[in-house]
Chains A and B, each alone.
Chain A
Amino acid sequence: MTRRAVARALVHLSLITAALVVLLPLAVVLLTSLKTSREMANGSGALALPDDPLNFANYLTAFRDGQMLSAFANTAVVLVVAVGGTILIGSMTAYAVDRFRFRFRKLVVALFLLAALVPGVTTQVATFQIVDSLGMFDSLWAPIALYMGTDIVSIYIFLQFIRSIPVSLDEAARLDGANAFTVYRKVILPLLKPAIATVVIVKGINVYNDFYIPFLYMPSEDLGVISTSLFRFKGPFGAHWETISAGTILVILPTLIVFLFLQRFLYNGFMRGATK
């Protein structure tokens, strides 16, 4: 019996250690963001508590000089348009592929399936030329188009879900004289709500966090999204860790709030996303 107790204690110890390893680096950055530059200089160490726990001056600096406000605005625009577009594209594709039999249907499905295997990072060299030739380089359209156009995972989620909607519903609507578009808009889309919620969450977080695409396609400073704007802190704030920390916390905070409120959806959403 004691052996079991020791094993239990060890398990708990491992869990607590893991929690510390996850939380400590974040907690220290939070502490640092509340310190003054003088406190940073006197070398009291990274773990020391800030003198004034309500010192938000660094956040102001990050907001003002780090252009975080326009970054959040740009991110919001990209997020809303790209996620909205993804929903339309994903649900339309799923509707067409699942509810109709037409020539080349298998080819279309295969094209979408195959595209999921191509990691986006590898093709950017050539994607860049296409985005550039479409005149979208250095505009918000570049990330919007790429997020909308290359998201196969969402199509999968919609496909999986649309199969569970009974075809008899479509037929009933058809008998009432609805055409394919009315069926899609009035029957399918409302019933896809859970799938839409999943896509909004998964896609939203992915777009919010993406660095690679805005970094490649939007070099202009006023087109910074939160990833690229935060990345630019590296230059001007070089050794000012208190400001960099404040910016970092500002970026993490919305994620934390979303996470706390939508935990359950998040687990399921990412599970669906990853297993396709």
Chain B
Amino acid sequence: MTDTTRKAARPDVPAAPLAPGRTEPAARRTRRRARVTPWLFLAVPLALLLTFTYAPIANMVAYSFTDWDGVSPELNWTGAENYTELLTRSELFEVFLVSGYYLVASVVQIVLALYFATVLSFDARFRNFFKGVLFFPYLINGVAIGFVFLYFFQDGGTLDSVLRLLGVESDHAWLGTPFSANTSLAGVSVWRYLGLNFVLFLGAIQSIPGELYEAAEIDGASRWQQFRYIIAPGIRPVLSLSVILSVSGSLSVFEIPYIMTGGATGTETFVIQTVKLAFQFNKTGLASAAAVVLLLIVLAVTWVQRRIVPDEKVDLV
């Protein structure tokens, strides 16, 4: 990802001709034009980048120190008040506990994905079928998934019917208590996102040269040893990427709980709360502070991951 290192590693491209006009004893006119041309290409992309990514961040940080309601022309500087409110009003901070469910779920998800990727990379039978089936949920529209699983967990819905078929009579309201509801929603999230992790792992495993396994087999290595000493090191970069995606994903869960429960019965997540603060209760200042906190956490997590695993190796294509 680091642009400059990649460039240096590319042997086949001579560096000099990249800049037309620099090496040639060219007229000043071409040199000036060569200096302007890249900016003509970059004008629109940069304008969009600044307008929709950097300006919002700057504004958000500014709003977070005010009591603005998002509509009125009036806004007062309140210092760090929003941040103290966030940290001291426990119900505003409790939403982070909900992320815990999704964090646990993503551990389950990664382990399952790793298992299926390993199994399917060894056993080729019906591989494409199972690969397709496991990956497909990742492509489905979030609202559709929400409805599929609302019906799944409904009283007398899919889950209850299957359980009855297996001889378990259940009148448990799956989305009725905070624990059960959050577990169910986290389960849906595993169902939805497992496929991406799985395909990433499978790709990484399959890019390991086959001779390595053969050599290991000749040396008498067991399947577990092959996994431990060949596969595990081979997928380390992808694994660390999955972990980071999971952590930031768990912190910014929105769609599934919003669509399925609207944040009721203790399933409100940080993003749902922020959206409600900003657009229902018109507390733009407070919501901005919340968003800044989330942004900082996500950036911190990413930074830690980058420190642990340098990212040049994450290159599957």
**Separation of A207 and B115 alpha carbons in the complex (Å):** 31
Q: A174-B20, A259-B132 are in contact. Are A145 and B52 (CB under 8 A)?
A: yes
Q: A100-B37, A115-B54, A211-B142 are in contact. Are A271 and B162 (CB under 8 A)?
A: no
Q: Are A47 and B59 in contact (CB under 8 A)?
A: no
Tell me which of A117, A160, A231, A256 contacts B299 (CB under 8 A). Answer: A117
Chain B residues whose CB sits within 8 angstroms of the CB of A228 once the complex forms: 143
Q: Which segment, of B89-97, B100-108, B208-216, B271-279, faces chain A? A: B271-279
Q: A96-B42, A271-B316 are in contact. Are A111 and B147 (CB under 8 A)?
A: no
Main secondary structure of the interface of B (DSSP, over half): helix
Tell me which of B41, B128, B165, B299 contacts A96 (CB under 8 A). Answer: B41
Chain A residues whose CB sits within 8 angstroms of the CB of B46 once the complex forms: 108, 111
Chain A residues whose CB sits within 8 angstroms of the CB of B22 once the complex forms: 101
Q: Is B164 an interface residue (CB 8 A)?
A: yes
Chain A residues whose CB sits within 8 angstroms of the CB of B241 once the complex forms: 274-275
Q: A96-B38, A122-B294, A125-B274 are in contact. Are A101 and B60 (CB under 8 A)?
A: no
Q: Which residue of B lies closest to A100 (CB)?
A: B38
Q: Is B205 an interface residue (CB 8 A)?
A: no
Chain B residues whose CB sits within 8 angstroms of the CB of A102 once the complex forms: 34-35, 38-39
Q: Is B180 an interface residue (CB 8 A)?
A: no
Q: Is A141 an interface residue (CB 8 A)?
A: no
> Shortest CB–CB separation between residue B307 and chain A, in angstroms?
14
Chain B residues whose CB sits within 8 angstroms of the CB of A112 once the complex forms: 49
Q: Is A18 an interface residue (CB 8 A)?
A: yes
Most chain A CB inside 10 Å of its own CB: which residue of B20, B49, B51: B49
Q: Are B56 and A126 in contact (CB under 8 A)?
A: yes
Q: Is B137 an interface residue (CB 8 A)?
A: yes
Q: Are B41 and A184 in contact (CB under 8 A)?
A: yes
Q: Is A130 an interface residue (CB 8 A)?
A: yes
Chain B residues whose CB sits within 8 angstroms of the CB of A21 once the complex forms: 191
Q: Which segment, of B150-158, B167-175, B226-234, faces chain A? A: B150-158
Within 8 A of B (CB), among A129-179: 129-130, 145-146, 148-150, 155-156, 159-160, 163, 166-167, 171, 174
Tell me which of B133, B139, B148, B284 contacts A266 (CB under 8 A). Answer: B139
Tell me which of B54, B137, B162, B275 contacts A47 (CB under 8 A). Answer: B162
Chain A residues whose CB sits within 8 angstroms of the CB of B8 once the complex forms: none
Interface size class of B (residues with CB under 8 A): 35 or more
**Separation of A180 and B279 alpha carbons in the complex (Å):** 46
Chain B residues whose CB sits within 8 angstroms of the CB of A272 once the complex forms: 316-317
Q: Is B121 an interface residue (CB 8 A)?
A: no
> Shortest CB–CB separation between residue B110 and chain A, in angstroms?
14
**Separation of A108 and B278 alpha carbons in the complex (Å):** 32
Q: Which residue of B lies closest to A43 (CB)?
A: B156
Q: Are B245 and A123 in contact (CB under 8 A)?
A: no
Q: Are B144 and A252 in contact (CB under 8 A)?
A: yes
Q: Are A130 and B56 in contact (CB under 8 A)?
A: yes
Q: A96-B38, A127-B56 are in contact. Are A45 and B317 (CB under 8 A)?
A: no
Q: Which residue of A lies closest to B15 (CB)?
A: A101
Chain A residues whose CB sits within 8 angstroms of the CB of B284 once the complex forms: 125, 129
Tell me which of A90, A125, A180, A274 contacts B291 (CB under 8 A). Answer: A125
> Shortest CB–CB separation between residue B223 and chain A, in angstroms?
9
Most chain B CB inside 10 Å of its own CB: which residue of A47, A130, A275: A275
Q: Is A245 an interface residue (CB 8 A)?
A: yes
Q: Is A128 an interface residue (CB 8 A)?
A: yes
Q: Are A275 and B271 in contact (CB under 8 A)?
A: no
Within 8 A of A (CB), among B126-151: 126, 128-144, 147-149, 151
**Separation of A258 and B141 alpha carbons in the complex (Å):** 13
Q: A25-B148, A46-B151, A122-B298 are in contact. Are A128 and B315 (CB under 8 A)?
A: no
Q: Are A19 and B13 in contact (CB under 8 A)?
A: no
Q: Which residue of A lies closest to B188 (CB)?
A: A25
Within 8 A of A (CB), among B53-104: 53-57, 59-60, 63, 70
Q: Is A54 an interface residue (CB 8 A)?
A: no
Chain A residues whose CB sits within 8 angstroms of the CB of B294 once the complex forms: 119, 122
Chain B residues whose CB sits within 8 angstroms of the CB of A26 once the complex forms: 148
Q: Which residue of B lies closest to A250 (CB)?
A: B144
Q: Is A121 an interface residue (CB 8 A)?
A: yes
Q: Is A95 an interface residue (CB 8 A)?
A: yes
**Separation of A268 and B133 alpha carbons in the complex (Å):** 16
Q: Are A29 and B132 in contact (CB under 8 A)?
A: no
Q: Are B287 and A125 in contact (CB under 8 A)?
A: yes
**Separation of A167 and B63 alpha carbons in the complex (Å):** 47
Q: A22-B133, A125-B60, A160-B317 are in contact. Are A46 and B248 (CB under 8 A)?
A: no
Tell me which of B14, B34, B48, B203 contacts A149 (CB under 8 A). Answer: B48
> Which 6 pairs from chain A and chain B are nearest by CB?
A149-B48, A126-B60, A96-B41, A100-B38, A126-B56, A149-B52
Q: A23-B133, A125-B288, A263-B128 are in contact. List 6 more A-B contacts (CB 8 A).
A: A111-B54, A113-B1, A126-B55, A126-B56, A259-B136, A268-B317
- Provide a sorted-by-A list of 11 A–B residue pairs whose CB atoms are within 8 angstroms: A21-B191, A25-B151, A28-B157, A92-B42, A99-B18, A124-B278, A125-B278, A148-B48, A209-B142, A230-B141, A241-B154
